[in-house]
Amino acid sequence: MAEYTVGDIVAERTVHLTRESLVRYAGASGDFNPIHYRDDVAEAVGLPGVLAHGMLTMGLASSTVLAALPADVRVIDYGVRFTKPVVVDPEHGADVHVLAKVGAADETSARIDLTVKAAETTVLAKAQLRVAL
């Protein structure tokens, strides 16, 4: 059984998103809302630009943790609050940075707290993943 100590970093990574990433995710998820790939539509509805899908951002965060955990650890709860959108620039894309730390632990479970940022802005708040050990 893995040992978890409050404050330990479980995982950290930065994922670079491009407009192509968004189109691929739209195809995989079935979410073809044009705010995720068309600047004119995003602008028309008052957005700062084309946005990454919220569930894509959430999935990137959880997959960062899951890739770092032993195979016998299972997720029993995962939740986030979306605070800011990830704007994906047509030329430069966007980097989503995930830092996962142990927030609480006991003999049977651990709570992993995630800090998820894009352009130095927190995009997911109260992002926590609980795992059974």
Domain that holds residue 90: 9-16+52-132
The answer to the question of residue 92 being in a domain is yes
pLDDT, position 113: 98
Give the Cα-Cα-Cα angle 109, 79, 13 (nearest 5 degrees): 80
List Cβ neighbours of 28 (8 Å cut-off, separation of 6 or more).
none
Q: Walk along the chain (133 residues) and give the pLDDT tens digit of each residue.
A: 468 999 999 999 999 999 999 999 999 999 999 999 999 999 999 999 999 999 999 999 999 999 999 988 999 999 999 999 999 999 999 999 999 999 999 999 999 999 999 999 999 999 999 999 8
Radius of gyration of the chain (CA): 16
Domain total of the chain = 1
List Cβ neighbours of 56 (8 Å cut-off, separation of 6 or more).
17, 21, 22, 25, 29
- Which run of H or E residues covers position 66? helix 54-68
The Cα–Cα gap between 87 and 73 comes to 33
The answer to the question of residue 121 being in a domain is yes
78 phi and psi, to 5 degrees?
-150, 130
The answer to the question of residue 1 being in a domain is no
The answer to the question of residue 41 being in a domain is no
The answer to the question of residue 29 being in a domain is no
The answer to the question of residue 95 being in a domain is yes
The answer to the question of residue 27 being in a domain is no
Give the Cα-Cα-Cα angle 51, 125, 11 (nearest 5 degrees): 90
The answer to the question of residue 127 being in a domain is yes
Q: What is the 3-state composition of the chain as percent helix, strand, coil, each rounded to the nearest 5?
A: 25, 40, 30
- CATH classification of the domain holding 103: 3.10.129.10
pLDDT, position 72: 87
pLDDT, position 133: 85
